[in-house]
Amino acid sequence: MANGLGALRQRLSQPLRAPWLLAAADRLLLSSRSIAGPRDEPHHVLLAPAGGGNIGDQALVEAFIENVDGRVSVICRRPADYSIDDERVRVVPLLSLVYGDLVGHVRDLRAFRELLRTATTFSVVGADVMDGGYGYRASANRANLARRVAEIGIDSRVLGFSWNASPHPVALRAVRAAAATGVDTIVRDPRSAARARTDGIAPVIDGADIVFLARSTDADTAATWADRVAGPLALVNFSGLVPADGGLDPYVDVVRALRERGHGVLLVPHVSRPGADDLPICVAVADRFADDPDVVLVDRLLSPSAIRGLASRARITVTGRMHLAVMSLMHAVPAVTVATQGKVEGLMDLVGAPQLCVPTDRLSADLARVAADTADAADDLSRAIAARLDEVRGLAGRNLERMPRPVRTVTSG
């Protein structure tokens, strides 16, 4: 009964969720006069992605915080979506600002307006949520908010995002309008940039994923896991979003290929939440190797800094999640990655290693073979990736142009 009433409310509220209607509310309620306030110190308002059980989303938010000076207000859906241990940071749950109907959006706009009274910048974490691939309304709402904030005179940007070959028309119009209004649109790989320009988004800023700027590592937590296996370390992740023909067998073949080459394997979940949970498939693969002490399941989500600590010790990564690939590549670790949403191919172009991509429709046929080939050539690949990293970090730095940057030492531990 309750589920039926919830579904009915959702259907009845659909007309009130139209992005054009929410954008009209933005124009009415957000003005230069309504957000007038003191701006003597840097205050960055960051619109975060979904979070809540996603290491990649947490890594994106933490990388931003780590690389700006001043206060940061992180807007998210729910209070538990992000855990940030930094006295400069305030987490502000405003579910309906992006995901709600007109009534909720207007309510959350009032709180948003209060944040803007002292804001010196407004940033949207773009990642893979701007082209409508995961819901066009939320994509358009993010772009429309950035546009309105730029119109009323606050430095506004969409941080490094991918752009697929078939964007939703509503999302496309919103991002195109935001860029034309003065929002910095930083695209995180050359293929996405080419698509965005073809789609009439201008200007486009060529960049890279902001996580390439992250510096902190948790070496102690990484050691407690890495030391459980012998041999060169392989990080392996299987995404709960990526179906595989043949059931578990393609994934088992990956682990077997790495073990045959002497690698100790850590099975590492990267996302664990309803509808997108890596843990069950990682558990199932681990069960197939229950008698092998050098195949170990990491049975919980680790922090981004712990993942970077593991990556710094790894020789190879195999993953269905892009940000595990990023946090491996930033340490020059070749990362065989299942390509989804058109975002991975451009990442590998940046580091000069297109052979590390495995399309989803070739997963069963190619994933274990590419993992084996990459393990055999890992040292040469690592050197080639390392030669590109200064350039990639420079591109990632374009996300934060004009922003005050901190002067502090980041230590591991």
Q: Is 4's pLDDT higher than 80? A: no
Beta carbons of 77 and 93 less than 8 angstroms apart:
yes
- Higher pLDDT: 2 or 321? It is 321
How confident is residue 406, by pLDDT bands cut at 50, 70 and 90?
confident
pLDDT (average), residues 364-375: 96
User: What pLDDT was estimated at residue 9?
Assistant: 58
Q: Is 18's pLDDT higher than 80? A: yes
**83-97, 268-282, 319-333, 347-361, range with the lowest pLDDT:** 268-282
Amino acid at 97: L
How confident is residue 340, by pLDDT bands cut at 50, 70 and 90?
confident
pLDDT (average), residues 56-72: 97
Pick the CATH number of 219-394 from 3.40.50.720, 3.40.50.300, 3.40.50.2000, 3.60.20.10: 3.40.50.2000
Q: In what order do the strands lie in the sheet with 155-161?
A: 89-93, 71-76, 43-47, 121-127, 155-161, 184-187, 205-206
Query: What's the CA gap between 332 and 353, in Å, rounded?
Result: 11
User: What pLDDT was estimated at residue 111?
Assistant: 97
User: What pLDDT was estimated at residue 411?
Assistant: 47
Q: Which among 30, 41, 35 has a CA at the least distance from the CA of 147?
A: 30
Q: Is 413's pLDDT higher than 50? A: no
Domain ranges in the chain? Answer: 12-207, 219-394
Number of H helices, E strands in the chain: 17, 13
**6-20, 56-70, 191-205, 393-407, range with the lowest pLDDT:** 6-20
Query: Other CB atoms closer than 10 Å to residue 280's CB: what's the count?
Result: 12
Under CATH, which number does the domain 12-207 receive? 3.40.50
Amino acid at 275: G
Q: Which among 287, 286, 268, 269 has a CA at the least distance from the CA of 278?
A: 269
How confident is residue 241, by pLDDT bands cut at 50, 70 and 90?
confident
Collect all residues with Cβ–Cβ distance below 8 Å to 97 and sequence separation of at least 6.
47, 75, 105, 108, 109, 112, 141, 145
pLDDT in tens, 283-324: 999 999 999 999 999 999 999 999 999 999 999 999 999 999
Question: Rg of the Cα trace of the chain?
Answer: 21
Mean per-residue pLDDT over the chain, rounded: 94
Hey, which bits of 143-291 come out as E strands? Answer: 155-161, 184-187, 205-206, 233-236, 264-267
Q: Which residues is 297 bridged to in the sheet? A: 267
User: What pLDDT was estimated at residue 5?
Assistant: 56
How confident is residue 11, by pLDDT bands cut at 50, 70 and 90?
low
User: What pLDDT was estimated at residue 8?
Assistant: 54
User: What pLDDT was estimated at residue 12?
Assistant: 61
Q: Is 355's pLDDT higher than 80? A: yes
Q: Is 410's pLDDT higher than 50? A: no
Q: Which among 402, 403, 48, 399 has a CA at the least distance from the CA of 211?
A: 399
Q: Is 172's pLDDT higher than 90? A: yes
Helix (H) or strand (E) holding 27: helix 19-29
User: What pLDDT was estimated at residue 342?
Assistant: 78
Collect all residues with Cβ–Cβ distance below 8 Å to 20 and sequence separation of at least 6.
none
